[in-house]
Structure 1
Amino acid sequence: MSNGKKVNVQLADTNGVAAVPLAAGEKKSNVRWAVAVVLALSFMAMFMGRTVFSVSGKAIMEQYGWTSAQFGYASTAFFIGYMITMVPSGSIADKYGATKVLIISLLLSGIFTFFTPIIGVTMFLMILVRILEGASQGCIVPGAMSNLGKWFPKREFGVASALVQAGCPLGSALNMYIAAAMLPLIGWQNLFYIYAIIFPIWCIIWVTVGKSSPKEHKRVNQKEIEWIQQRPEGLENTKPVILAKKDIFRTPAVWLMCLSYGCAVYMYFFATTWLPNYFTIGRGMSISAGATPFIVGFFAYFVGGFIADGASKKLGDKIGRKLVQVVGMIGAAVLIFIGANATDPTLVVAAVSLSYGFLCLTMGGYFSVPSAICPANVGVYTGLAGIIGAIAGVLAPTVTGLVVDAGLNAGASNAVAYGYALWVCAAVCILGSILALLAKIEVVKPKRIKN
């Protein structure tokens, strides 16, 4: 009995690590959401460092006399490095925790951002430094998603992953406004030097707020740990099974959803590498016009996360975890096609922005899939999806550059030549919708369970 006095209850988590002493009647802590916000800032930093090359594209092309195809090759180089580190970094984060993976990745990203204008004075050297920056950033997504898998229960994973990924369009949108204001004043080289500072600042914030798991965080109480560790109805007394990589890789739904994600990423990285040039060169608009799609995308991420979790709860994982991908990809395809063929500038911006918004709706769905089919191996799944996405990232800027140059060489106007590249995006999105529709979302069953 408490005799009216406050009683502290000391509980331990499943691994015997003591949680914060819990006063009787105390509500659960919500540290996991603070961790998600900091992870979102890592994605914002990642995309600011990534898209500074894109927003500087016109200035870089003019300084070095590059064609659209050559700029596409330099943009593609980033994704070559990106896909090399995706799976190994996810496996390392799953096994040893995400903190070291994230800190090393962000610090290296800052270093290579700083040295890009110093080293990249020829096409070969620019490709080299972009490969190195891609390799450093390739660890961030699987590391962050592996961390998120340890901090959130399945019922919240769609919203949490959407929150984290919302940092991507936020970073891209900020870039458009910052570049429009600062490029004419300080030049593209100094913009890289300034952006390099963002990465170590994030590392300081993470050391203060974040941890690899809730069991390591001093501010997490036992009720929050119990909430995080809860299992779906009917599986309350089971634990997520740690799968062998071959169990994941032999599952058709894994490949269908990862390939569908690759289709989404094709258009996504078209947007991050070529959309600034589409508005400035293809349509003759201000670079700040390119911010509108990313602002729409920022809000769409949250909506998509809520829809993914809500649809899964009402319709089950088999339908709910892919519904937003199927609908979102169709919407993105239709609207990007309208934007490519529109002549009114307002309609162009509106259609392209809404198309990007529909695309971003899908991301909460895509990144909630591993929590439904391999919850103990989120990093491995994310790494595989990341490799396929990186291949799409290699293709998107290269194909776009070749398509634009082919259109210009055939006598098409800038608007028409760039419009052809948007047609390709529309076709890829339709393919992605079909692949997601075919995927059967269910828990992966291992051939042999590790004891």
Structure 2
Amino acid sequence: METGEDTRPEWGKRLSKCVPLPQRVIMSIMGFLSIINNYTLRSCISVTITRLVLARSYSNETEASGEVCPKPDETVDDEETPGGEYDWSQELQGYILGSFYIGYILGHVPAGLLSEKYGAKWVLVCGMSTATILTLLTPLCITLLGPYALIVLRTIMGFGAGFSYPSCSALLAHWVPLHERSLLGAFIMGGGQMGTVLSNSLSGALLRYAKWPWVFYTFGIMAALWILFFILMCFSDPNSHPYISDKEKEYLMKHMGRLGRDHNLPRFPWVPVFKSKEMWVLILAQIAHDWGFYVMSSCFPKFLNDVLQLQILKTGIFSSIPFLLFWLFSLIFGGIADCVIKRNATKATIARKVMTFIAATPSGLFMVLAVYVGCNTALIILCFTISMSLMGGYYAGIKLTANDMTPNYSATVMAIVNGIGGIAGVLAPYSVGWLTKKTHLHEWQQVFWLALAILTIPTIPFCIWGTAEVQEWNESAKKE
């Protein structure tokens, strides 16, 4: 509830006149960096695992058959090791890559409930601190305890990382007006793509020029620095911010009608939410997106390494290009959606549906096309880049729909939707490991045909029944 009384300390009032950027922009930048760190911590193992396990060897007949591409005719420096020492099967690698998402799923709902009750700042800090500490301990776990302990460690790590999206969703709901939400929301949530870009490219460079533990140490230290700056600079809502400017407070009050969290908010309306058709079609669309995204983020470096037989530095660079374009196009699609909504707020539902459709079927079609163009590396990377660019529409589509449907309970709804969608993060890497036991091209073709089907079919109900309108259950509990 708003009292209208300025409770800021004197130092905060003075500092508010010295900060050039609006605090909602600073919050968005730090939220963007939080998602970047979340994804570097989870994804750096995707490239690193190609140098942990024993190198794959193929016969001349296998290369001649087109099941894998001939090894590029390039000189390999003596310093580059083609493989590692761990004899982990493709299925075990799938379990390792997917184990993160078991904990990731479980972390969402507690994070959403805690963010609404106590504020998102410290929930996000606690979750990221857990993921950061365990990332720094990963080399020790691998060398001393083995792959099954690594699975347990990454499961717990995923639980902490699962706090990020619900917390960031709560920050968006309390800081950003509707007509700015598509662009700033896409900017924050798109940090996942930049995190994957940074993870893949920097991991490749570190693996080329340093020992593999430094991959985990580097990203752990970066995340620790972010935690420190976030604690000093960001707050759960404008009302608790000690040095927000009077001008920004007036602007947010005008466009949002409030500055703080409603501390008298009733308990989450579980029954109405799960009886809502709109909620279930949103969950289905989230599963579709997550499957396509996690196939690419977790397993694309393995495809480049196993089928194209690229060196580790090129694997890191080439696997990052599609995600860089993913992020850029998520901002473009977000800006377009904001323009549509600002002109006519009633068209928000149409904007969300159109963006979601663009990110589904056309994106999946280019994934499939990429594995039917032979061994032309440039053409393969181009097809995957177009695919991921189109997938950028998701962030102006389904990712912001939870905020539209329920400003009061956006953190918990995001937790439910993103948490259930995280099931794809468990199943997608394991399905890739199960389908690509020999790492042959025809096996990878099955992987991307499956991705196309899952991207398309669950998205259809959202395009029919999805909505960006505030739901009745957002206020019904308070009215009762």
The SS at the match of 2:305 is: helix
1:423 equivalent in structure 2: 449
Q: Distance in 2 between matches of 1:176 and 1:372?
A: 33
CA contact (8 A) 1:29 1:221 kept: no
Number of the residue aligned with 1:44: 36
- Match of residue 270, structure 1, among 254, 277, 295: 295
- Report if aligned partners of 2:329, 2:392 keep a CA contact under 8 Å in 1: yes
CA contact (8 A) 1:28 1:221 kept: no
Are residues 1:281 and 2:273 paired? no
Aligned equivalents of 2:226, 2:22: Cα separation in 1: 21
Alpha-carbon distance between aligned partners in 1 of 2:254 and 2:46, rounded to the nearest angstrom: 43
1:104, 1:324 → 2: CA distance? 33
Q: Which residue of 1 aligns with 2:125?
A: 103
Question: CA, structure 1 residues 40+84, in 2 after alignment: closer, same or farther (shift >3 Å)?
Answer: same
In the alignment, the residues of structure 2 paired with residue 61 and residue 254 of structure 1 have an alpha-carbon distance, to the nearest angstrom, of 42
Identical columns (%):
21
Deviation at 1:439, TM superposition (A): 2.4
Aligned ranges for residues 122-271 of structure 1 at < 5 Å? 122-230=146-254, 244-271=269-296
| Counterpart AA for 1:199 | A
| Among candidates 127, 133, 138, match of residue 116 of structure 1 | 138
Aligned to 1:330: 361
435-444 vs 312-321, which moves further: 312-321
| Deviation at residue 435 of structure 1 after TM alignment | 2.7
Residue in 2 that maps onto 1:339: 370
Structure 2 runs not aligned, ≥5 long = 55-84
The answer on whether the counterparts of 2:352 and 2:396 sit within 8 Å (CA) in structure 1 is no
CA distance in 2, matches of 1:29, 1:198: 24
Distance, in Å, in 2 between the alignment partners of 1:426 and 1:59 is 29
How far apart are the structure 1 equivalents of 2:336 and 2:51? 40
TM-superposed deviation, 1:231: 5.2
How far apart are the structure 2 equivalents of 1:431 and 1:228?
39
Q: 1:298 aligns with which of 306, 322, 327?
A: 327
Q: Would you say 1:70 and 2:92 are equivalent positions?
A: yes
Match of residue 5 from structure 1: none
1:61 aligns with 2:53: yes
Verify: 1:392 aligned to 2:416, yes or no: no
SS in 2 for 1:219: coil
Deviation at 1:137, TM superposition (A): 0.4
Pair 1:227–1:246, CA change in 2 (3 A): farther
Contact 2:364 2:448 in 1 (8 A): no
Amino acid paired to 1:54: S
Shift of residue 14, structure 1, vs aligned partner: 4.6
> Equivalents in 2 of 1:383, 1:112: separation in Å?
22
Superimposed CA distance per residue, residues 21-74 of structure 1 (whole angstroms, 9 cap, x where no aligned partner):
79xxxx997210111001100111111111111011211222321122110111
Deviates more, 1:134-143 or 1:163-172: 163-172
Match of 1:402 in 2: 434
Is the contact made by 1:44 and 1:168 (CA closer than 8 Å) also made in structure 2?
yes
TM-fit CA distance, 1:123: 2.6
In the TM superposition, residue 109 of structure 1 has moved relative to its aligned partner by 1.0
The alpha carbon displacement at 1:385 in A equals 1.2
- Looking at structure 2, the residues matched to 392 and 48 of structure 1 have their Cα atoms a distance apart, in angstroms, of 19
Whether the 8 Å CA contact 2:50–2:302 is kept in 1: the answer is: yes
Distance 1:323 1:226, change over 3 A: farther
Q: TM-score, normalised by structure 2?
A: 0.83
Which shows bigger deviation, 157-166 or 304-313?
A: 304-313
Pairing 1:361-372 to 2, within 5 Å after superposition: 361-372=393-404
Q: Contact between 1:29 and 1:224, CA under 8 Å: does it hold in 2?
A: no
| Residue-by-residue CA offset, 1:202-241 (whole Å, 9 max, x unaligned) | 1111122211111122332233234334458xx99xx998
Q: Once superposed, what is the RMSD of the aligned Cα atoms? A: 2.5
CA gap of 1:289–1:231, structure 2 versus 1, over 3 A, is same
Report the CA distance between 1:164 and its aligned residue: 0.7
Deviations 1:225-268 (A, max 9, x none): 34334458xx99xx998652333222111110121011101111
Alpha carbons 1:329, 1:432 under 8 Å: kept? no
- The C-alpha deviation readout for 1:186-205, integer Å capped at 9, x for no partner, is 22222212221122201111
- Is the alpha carbon distance of 1:82 and 1:215 closer, same or farther for their aligned partners in structure 2, counting shifts above 3 Å? same
Contact 1:36–1:164 (CA under 8 A) maintained in structure 2: yes
Distance 1:53 1:316 in 2: 41
Q: Is the 8 A contact 1:283 1:415 kept in 2?
A: no
- Picking from 400, 422, 440, the partner of 1:414 is 440
Q: Read off the aligned partner of 2:470 and give its amino acid letter.
A: V
1:8 match: none
Q: Is the 8 A contact 1:40 1:167 kept in 2?
A: yes
Amino acid at match of 1:248: V
> What SS class does the counterpart of residue 449 from structure 1 fall into?
helix
Quick check: 1:158–1:367 contact (8 Å CA) kept in 2?
Answer: no
What corresponds to 1:445 in structure 2? Answer: 472
Distance 1:421 1:190 in 2: 31
- Paired letter, 2:394: T
Q: Secondary structure at the match of 2:371?
A: helix
The answer (yes or no) to whether the contact 1:248–1:444 under 8 Å persists in 2 is no
Q: How many Å apart are 1:434 and its aligned residue? A: 0.8
| Structure 1 unaligned residues grouped into runs of 5+ | 1-11
Instruction: Report the AA paired with residue 370 of structure 2.
Output: G
Q: Secondary structure at the match of 2:235?
A: coil
Query: Aligned equivalents of 1:350 and 1:14: distance in 2?
Result: 55
Contact kept, 8 Å, 1:52 with 1:175, in 2: the verdict is yes
Equivalent AA in structure 2 for residue 415 of structure 1: L
Cα distance 1:258–1:383, how it changes in 2: closer, same or farther (>3 A)? same
How far did 1:414 drift? 2.5
Decide whether the 8 Å contact of 1:172 with 1:291 is kept in 2: yes
For 1:281, the aligned partner's letter is D
Partners of 2:289 and 2:360 within 8 A in 1: yes
